[in-house]
Amino acid sequence: MLFPQRDESRALSRFPIALLTLVAANVFVFLLELRLGDPFVLRYSMKPAEIVQGVHLETLFTSMFLHANIFHILGNMVYLWVFGDELEANYLGSIRFVLFYFVCGLAAGALQIAVNPISTVPNLGASGAIAGVLGAFLVEFPHDRILVAILVPFWIAHTRISAGVLIGIWFALQLIGGVGSIAATTGGVAYFAHIGGFIAGVVLIKLFGVGRRTTGEDDVRQQRG
C-alpha cells in the first residue's frame, strides 16, 4: 500500500484555511457518529434508490462528511491534506477550492447512482470529493515529488514518487476495483464514486481556475535545478 505523507516540491503561498475547515468538519461529524451510532449514519448516508425516488436528496451532501471507521476517515483526511493544501493555497484560493470540492463530490455521487440506481446500500465518505482533488492535482502539479510510505506486513519503507505516477496508480486501482464491483450487491468500496469524482476534477479544474495562476513555481525550479 502506498501512503502519501507530504508534497516536497514547493512551499505554500498562504495557509489553506478552507482545507483545515473541511478536515475539522469531517472530524466533528465522525465524533457525532461515535456518539449517535448507526441510526445517524443510516439516516444521512446516501442510498442511490432513494435519490432516484427523490427522497432524502440532502444526503448527496451530508454523506460526504460520514465515514465508516477511524481508518476510513484517517486515510481520507491524509489524502485530502497532502493534495488539497497546494491546490487551495497555490492555485484556486479558499472559496473556489470549497466549491470545487463539493462539485466533485456531487459528481462522484451521480456516477455511483448511475451505475446502480436501484441500490439501497448506504454510501458514505469524502473520498469522491477527494478523488476530484487528486484529478485536479494530476492536471496542475503532475511533476511534484510526493514523499510516500510503502506499507506491507511487518515492513515500512519511504520513497519519493512523482504525483503523476502515484495518482495514476491510484486511478488504475479504482478502475480495476470498479469493474469487479459491478455485480456486487453488498457494501464495499464505492469505486465508481471515486472514478466520477476524479474525472470531474480533471475536467473542471481549468474552469474553476480561470483567471488564476499557479504560485510557487520558482520554488520548484530551484529544487529541480
Which residue among 63, 67, 119, 194 is the active-site one?
Answer: 194
Q: Can you tell me the distance from the alpha carbon of 169 to that of 56, in angstroms, rounded to the nearest whole number?
A: 35
Specify whether 45 is catalytic. Answer: no
Buried b (16+ CB within 10 A) or exposed e, 161-197: bebbebbeebbeebeebbeeeeeeeeeebbbbbbbbb
What the block records as the C-alpha cell of 102 is: 463539493
Q: Can you tell me the distance from the alpha carbon of 80 to that of 68, in angstroms, rounded to the nearest whole number?
A: 17
The DSSP code for 127 is H
Q: Can you tell me the distance from the alpha carbon of 81 to that of 98, in angstroms, rounded to the nearest whole number?
A: 13
Strands 145-152 and 2-7: antiparallel
Specify whether 127 is catalytic. Answer: yes
Which residue among 13, 127, 143, 181 is the active-site one?
Answer: 127
Q: Can you tell me the distance from the alpha carbon of 203 to that of 116, in angstroms, rounded to the nearest whole number?
A: 23
Active site residues: 127, 194
